[in-house]
Amino acid sequence: MQSPLIKLDGIKKIYLTDEIETHALSGVNVEVNQGEFLSIAGPSGCGKSTLLSIMGLLDTPTEGRYLLDGKDVTSLNNKERAVIRNSDIGFIFQSFNLIGDMTVYENVELPLVYRGVSKAERKQRVEAVLEKVQMSHRNKHLPSQLSGGQQQRVAIARALAGSPKILLADEPTGNLDSQNGEKAMDLLATLHEEGSTICMVTHDDRYNTYANRVVQLFDGKVVNDNSTEAA
């Protein structure tokens, strides 16, 4: 039996501010298998984004253990976490996080530059992912010359360029109108059908139907973990 791509075991996250303890996550156990499309749902403040940040090695748990593709990554230092983020994890953010003075092509290429990929291979990968998200015709445009929906497509292309083991999407439709939100979700669904493993945080129940599994959080705890019939 194949081991899970992500295994979170007893994950707790406690924030200390002015001697007040805030328990963002309280003993979360979640496994994500290769090829799954997992939606992490729940009300605002329930710990969704904290959980995704820990999955993406942007944050560390106060307690618990995190295995990524069989490797214990719980206690890695900042440099070690950055290396794994760059090689194994693709991020899709609500605010797109594109660099304003770089073209579409350069934004998608940048993570590959950091990774030391050759110029010829970078060109091949960037052109392939821009074609996949139907943004090849905009490769010389700046983010300010694109609509919100187009910027999100570029952000998805950037996440895909490094062929990550998992895509983490934090409220990917949060800054989009409903029409562009559905287009972004359709694109994620297509990527899932093609084999991508996706973990998404959303507050919008409509988009849970795109996932084949929904983990419901409430007050930092998993209160439901259900498979769905993906739309």
Largest Cα span, the chain: 53
The pTM (predicted TM-score) of the whole model is: 0.89
User: Domain residues of the chain, as ranges?
Assistant: 6-227
C-alpha span between 14 and 26 (Å, rounded) = 8
User: pLDDT tens-digit profile of 10-57?
Assistant: 999 999 888 889 999 999 999 999 999 999 999 888 999 999 999 999
What is the layout of strands, in order, in the sheet containing 198-202?
89-93, 166-170, 198-202, 37-41, 213-218, 221-227
| Stretch 53-70: mean pLDDT | 96
pLDDT of 204 above 80: yes
In the predicted model, what is the mean pLDDT of the chain? 92
- Residue 230: the pLDDT is 41
C-alpha span between 172 and 93 (Å, rounded) = 6
C-alpha span between 36 and 26 (Å, rounded) = 24
| Three-state secondary structure call for residue 62 | coil
- Residue 100: the pLDDT is 94
User: pLDDT tens-digit profile of 162-175?
Assistant: 899 999 999 999 88
**Does the 6-227 domain belong in CATH 3.40.50.300?**
yes
